[in-house]
Amino acid sequence: MIHLTKLFLIMLISIVFKTTMYGQQNTDSIRLVNEALKMIEFPEPEFKSPFVPNLDAKAIADMGFDQPYQSEVISYKMRDGVQIHGQEYEHDSNKTVLLLHGTLASSYTYNKMSGLLREATQAKVIAVDLRGHGQSKGIAGDITTLNQYAEDLDDLISAIKKENPNEVIIVAGHSMGGGIVLRHAETFSDTDIDAYVLFAPNLGNNAPTVSQELNLKSNFIKTHLSRGLGLRVLNEFGIHTYDSLNVVYYNLPEQMPIRSYSYRSMQASFPKNYGKALRGITKPMLVLVGSNDEAFIAEEYPTLIKANSIGDVFVAEGESHNGIRHNKEAMDKVRDWVTVNKLK
């Protein structure tokens, strides 16, 4: 295990040291850019053997492959013409829950969560495939701008509002989807959203909810640390030419539609500044996480959310990262929260 922050700091210091040994600022900048260009070309991480998951029955069920609820296929056109696929779970009300899925997923594996949310909120639920995921168009694991997921979310909200101007909009997201919701709140603060429900949201690499311990021996996920740092340096100089390069890799069969994510895709999946994003939300917000979350540090959420927002937090005892989507106590909490906040 290596402390991630220290690793980044050591690498950055070595670059800065090399550049500050020379005189003029322009020369230093050129050298810094050249060092960053070298770093992004370092070899990509490799997996030495196939990943063999060791999952119990509950963990398998929580992956979401069962399809207990009926839905209708829908589609929306984004500002750049890309078609976004979705599943609509009908309900006779003036409320719509717009649900964004997590990493490597699609609306298909959020069928059960969508049905449970419909019951808890007494609202129509629209679960979409993020661009490049599921049946949506786009590049698998990549986007074209650093805010494209947030832009898509804004287009989706506009489309729903255009069809039903008085619709109550509740935006929901799990993991990566929750991070995108916060990125949207940070970027499109004027968009009319009535409430937020976030399940184990990705608050970003600098948030205390993210472990600073990096397991370099992981046989499922690997990160190209030098490339990520190099691209960050290049971005500071306004260079975005290489943002499409992959920085996160998953040990999955070649047949899987997504096995890696680009730098810009990862950056777009969480807010630039989680504190600013949370403070900018003035409507009701509920954050739910399982105490046994494997992706994030669950115990950090209550303090962080309360310090930076007016939102409520619920921690489901003994629940996992995927399991929070189907947890009965969590859905009961959503139901009570909707009632208390008069989201009717």
Question: What spatial distance separates the first Cα and last Cα of the chain, rounded to whole Å?
Answer: 49
- Of 136, 157, 164, 116, the residue nearest 74 (C-alpha): 136
Residue 136 in domain: yes
pLDDT score at 217: 67
Q: Within a 10 A sphere around the Cβ of 150, how many other Cβ atoms?
A: 23
Contact 214, 223 (CB under 8 A): yes
Band of pLDDT at residue 1, cut at 50, 70 and 90: very low
Band of pLDDT at residue 211, cut at 50, 70 and 90: confident
Name every residue whose Cβ is closer than 8 Å to that of residue 77 and which is 6 or more positions away in sequence: 83, 84
pLDDT score at 74: 98
Contact 132, 89 (CB under 8 A): no
Residue 203 in domain: yes
Residue 280 in domain: yes
Query: What are residue 327's DSSP bridge partners?
Result: none
Main-chain dihedrals φ then ψ at residue 5, nearest 5 degrees:
-60, -45
Q: How many domains does the chain have?
A: 1
Residue 137 in domain: yes
- Of 84, 280, 76, the residue nearest 187 (C-alpha): 280
Greatest alpha-carbon pair distance for the chain in Å reads 70
In angstroms and rounded to an integer, the radius of gyration of the C-alpha atoms of the chain is 21
Contact 118, 331 (CB under 8 A): no
Angle value at C-alpha 74, between 71 and 78, nearest 5 degrees: 145
Residue 63 in domain: yes
Name every residue whose Cβ is closer than 8 Å to that of residue 277 and which is 6 or more positions away in sequence: 182, 183, 185, 186, 271
Residue 91 in domain: yes
Angle value at C-alpha 140, between 89 and 232, nearest 5 degrees: 115
Name every residue whose Cβ is closer than 8 Å to that of residue 85 and which is 6 or more positions away in sequence: 73, 74, 75, 107, 128, 129, 134, 135, 136
Residue range of the domain that includes 87: 57-208+267-340
* CATH (domain of 83): 3.40.50.1820
Residue 127 per-residue DSSP state: E
pLDDT score at 83: 98
Quick: pLDDT tens for 312-326.
999 999 999 999 999
pLDDT score at 215: 66
Residue 314 in domain: yes
pLDDT score at 221: 94
Quick: pLDDT tens for 120-155.
999 999 999 999 999 999 999 999 999 999 999 999
Residue 218 has pLDDT above 90, yes or no: no
- Of 37, 303, 261, the residue nearest 143 (C-alpha): 261
Residue 186 in domain: yes
Quick: pLDDT tens for 88-115.
999 999 999 999 999 999 999 999 999 9
- Of 313, 305, 320, 309, the residue nearest 334 (C-alpha): 313
pLDDT score at 226: 96
User: Average of pLDDT values for 256-263?
Assistant: 97
Cα four-point dihedral sign 93, 336, 185, 127: negative
Quick: pLDDT tens for 3-27.
555 455 455 545 554 544 444 567 8
H or E stretch at 97: strand 95-100
Band of pLDDT at residue 293, cut at 50, 70 and 90: very high
